[in-house]
Amino acid sequence: MKGIIYPKPHCWKYQDTPTPQPGPEDVLIRIKSCGICATDLHIYNGEFISRFPLVPGHEFSGEVAKVGDKVEDIKVGDRVTVDNAIYCGNCEFCRNNKEHFCLNFRSIGVTQNGAFAEYVVAHKSHVYDIENLSYDEASFTEPLSCAIHGLKLLGVTPGAQTLVFGAGPAGLMLLQLAKYSDCSLVVIADPNYCKLDKAKELGADFAIFADRSDHVKNREVLLNIAPLGYDYVIDATGKTEVQENCLWLVKKGGKFLVFGLA
């Protein structure tokens, strides 16, 4: 099959690579859609736990092409997505229901071959039917799950005022979830007008241009909208200088969420 390979950090190739074969409890999936994530860039730069050579791609959906002998509930032709994260189940964090901090964390597309290729293999327990979602919609399952988890940690309550820094895909998902959670005010801040237009289209009450070189001015503008600060401030930029300035904008008793691979 064809695939994109990172042979080592700072290097990628489009080349032939062996088609993976499913074990008895595995499912072989023909990839139909795969998201590109900032994590893929971290991996490319050698900044994550990846092992090379690697086929990246962890946000994907596709059609079942083959199943192992011990797979009963999943059939060839099923439209599916996959939970890419693999936890050990035994470490301190797994035993405390915080699997995403697993000390032996593995992931399809991060520590083993992923979906920037024609096929990927996943264990049957990680495969989910996508019903009538499109393949592109279904490839958002992983990043959207992360965003939902973030909002759950905050415990967002109806009527709350929420500020999101960063209007990239993660920020835009968090914005929409905050709206669906009945926040009374959702403000998004970003230095890119094109992204801000998208944020307005998706329901932001205010989409504020925030030049990252002038945090004092940004703070002034954002506190004009919510003079006591915001119940929830979310950083979806991964930038330390933005995170440091977020703290000034949290209302007393409010919460600050650092979202992403920060």
Angle at 97 between CA 105 and CA 150, to 5 degrees: 80
Q: Interface with Zn ion includes 94 (CB under 5 A)?
A: yes
Residue 52's CB is within 10 A of a number of other CB atoms, namely 12
Stretch that binds Zn ion, among 38-46, 114-122, 129-137, 224-232 (CB under 5 A): 38-46
Q: How far is CA 245 from the centre of its chain?
A: 23
3-state class (DSSP) for residue 164: strand
Number of residues that bind Zn ion (CB under 5 A): 7
Which residue from 171, 163, 257 is spatially nearest to 205, judged by alpha carbons? 163
Q: Interface with Zn ion includes 39 (CB under 5 A)?
A: yes
Rounded to whole angstroms, the Cα distance separating 127 from 75 reads 11
Q: Can you read off the two tokens belonging to residue 5?
A: 């390979």
Angle at 213 between CA 211 and CA 215, to 5 degrees: 80
Buried b (16+ CB within 10 A) or exposed e, 54-79: bbbbbbbbbebbbbbeebeebeeebb
Per the DSSP assignment, residues forming a β-bridge with 28 are 66, 121
Q: Which is nearer to Zn ion, 40 or 231 (CB)?
A: 40
Among 37, 115, 174, 175, binds Zn ion (CB under 5 A): 37
Among 74, 88, 133, 250, binds Zn ion (CB under 5 A): 88
Q: Which is nearer to Zn ion, 91 or 221 (CB)?
A: 91
Instruction: Report, in Å, the least distance between residue 95 CB and Zn ion.
Output: 8
Q: Interface with Zn ion includes 250 (CB under 5 A)?
A: no
Instruction: Report, in Å, the least distance between residue 39 CB and Zn ion.
Output: 5
Q: Interface with Zn ion includes 170 (CB under 5 A)?
A: no
Q: Interface with Zn ion includes 91 (CB under 5 A)?
A: yes
Q: Can you read off the two tokens belonging to residue 105?
A: 């964390």
Q: Which is nearer to Zn ion, 26 or 40 (CB)?
A: 40
Stretch that binds Zn ion, among 30-38, 78-86, 180-188, 250-258 (CB under 5 A): 30-38
Q: Which is nearer to Zn ion, 88 or 225 (CB)?
A: 88
Stretch that binds Zn ion, among 18-26, 46-54, 91-99, 176-184 (CB under 5 A): 91-99
Q: Interface with Zn ion includes 102 (CB under 5 A)?
A: yes
* Sites of contact with Zn ion (CB under 5 A): 37, 39, 87-88, 91, 94, 102
